[in-house]
A and B are shown apart, each in its own frame.
Chain A
Amino acid sequence: MIKRNKKEWLIVTFHTTVAAFQMERAAKDMGFGGRIIPVPREISAGCGLAWRDEKEKQAEIKKCLDDKCIEYEQLVLLTL
């Protein structure tokens, strides 16, 4: 393990890179503070990028994914 402050995050994974950027665009419009990260190895995902955000945002993000019809793979909580 490398030296880094860890905490529990909400992670969204996608089948394609395009969906990760749909999420980034939507997050910008909604004012979410998260960002794109390399997909953590704990999750095997179709796409190498994932969205990482505050876990408290889970409901809002789920709603945003559904409202904007962004195809995602999983929504999980992970300590990174």
Chain B
Amino acid sequence: MIYFDNAATSFPKPDFVKQAVIDAIDSIGSDGRGAHEMTLRASRIVYSCRENIAKLFNAEPTRVCFTLNATMALNTAILGLINQNDHVITTVQEHNSVLRPLYKTGADLTFLPIDGKGNTKIDMLCKNLKSNTKAVVLSHVSNVTGNVIDIERVGKLCKENNLYFIVDAAQSAGVFDIDMKKMNISVLCFTGHKGLLGVQGTGGLCVAKEVEINPLVVGGSGIHSFSHTQPDEYPTRLEAGTLNAHSLAGLNASVSWLNENGFAGLREKETNLAKIFYSEICKIPEIKIYGDVLSKNHGAIVSINIANEDAGMVSDALYQDFGICTRAGAHCAPLIHKAFGTTKQGMVRFSFSHQNTEDEVRQVIEAIKQLLP
């Protein structure tokens, strides 16, 4: 089997991540509930994970709040900051985990369009500002095209115009540099199981100073038990209920590794594989490629179609006949498919990891050639 679905979840997970989860299962209690050694061990791991995440993104450890995934982090940030009287600027490349919470707020929304290569037209941002614009919400890297938005530039515009800047880093965390302070990010939402190399059921949001999010979920906090309301202090403010400390132990191990070893080398390896793939298949006339794959900054994602064949059928043939795992369909990003005119056909997405090899890329190129009409 060849796994080219790393944008869905990275695979395989590093051995040290597996070991950290197993060790946690064998040794910890629940975080923040009591003071015996078992709970303290859980709390130390969770705290260490906060510190590692804070270091990776230049955030405050006390304002790193853990959730199940990026979706829950985005829901928390968007529904906790935006209401129906606000105007929000977002983009057509967004995932439903940004779009659906935004629609749910009832706010007035502006969608920045893309150009022919799928690059978001950031220069249209200022023209679209209104007196009630409250926030810009966008994804750093598109999960469909792999195109990257210059979030430092957007952050600067948000600062100049006094807007919240909420970033969906699901596809970029652990892959591209993110500095919350330098990039003026108000809320950074991440998931643990993709580029951060952790296991599923982990994610979170890093909240900048002076950003006060109204909690989405309230409940047990381990502190102030007689109060009727969730404590105001971060991270407890956004962390009702027992955390997934077993999986956070795995995330702690992977993020600690990324902090120590850096990730530029991993990124170079995987984007290089994407470029090799691109440069071969772009010679095939029946193949349409979406996205700006050869751009200097690009995620290791290449989405294609073969002539007008149903993307689902191509993906199914790749797996059934060649054992190659890809993702077909709309990838939960409806507006970018409208922009590319692929709502019915979908796209076949190949997403590479530093753990893939050039040989695997050659095999998939051969497989595609065999499928050609």
Contacts and interface: CB of A to CB of B under 8 A. Distances in A.
Contacts of A3: 370-373
A37 B316 contact: yes
Nearest to B330: A48
A4 B307 contact: no
B312 A2 contact: no
A80 B310 CA distance: 10
Interface in A41-74: 41-42, 48
A80 B309 CA distance: 11
Contact of B314 (A2, A39, A42): A2
Q: Which bucket holds chain B's interface residue count?
A: 20 to 34
Contact of A37 (B308, B312, B314, B371): B312
How many chain A residues sit at the interface, stated as a range, is 10 to 19
Contact of A2 (B328, B329, B345, B371): B371
Contacts of B310: 40-42
A38 interface: yes
A38 B313 contact: yes
A48 B311 CA distance: 12
A38 B308 CA distance: 16
B329 A38 contact: yes
A48 B371 CA distance: 23
B371 A41 contact: no
Nearest to B345: A41
Interface in A1-49: 1-4, 37-42, 48
A42 B316 CA distance: 15
B373 A2 contact: yes
B344 interface: yes
B317 interface: yes
B133 interface: no
Given A2-B306, A2-B372, A3-B371, A38 B315 contact: yes
Nearest to A48: B329
Interface in B318-373: 321, 328-329, 344-346, 370-373
Contacts of A4: 313, 317, 321, 371
B143 to A, nearest CB: 15
B317 A2 contact: yes
Contact of A41 (B307, B312, B370): B312
Contacts of B345: 41
A1 B309 CA distance: 5
26 contacts: A1-B307, A1-B308, A1-B373, A2-B306, A2-B307, A2-B309, A2-B317, A2-B371, A2-B373, A3-B371, A3-B372, A4-B313, A37-B316, A38-B311, A38-B315, A38-B316, A38-B328, A38-B329, A40-B310, A40-B312, A40-B313, A41-B310, A41-B312, A41-B344, A41-B346, A42-B310
Interface of B: 306-317, 321, 328-329, 344-346, 370-373
Given A1-B307, A38-B312, A42-B310, 8 more contacts: A2-B307, A2-B314, A3-B371, A37-B312, A38-B313, A38-B316, A41-B312, A48-B312
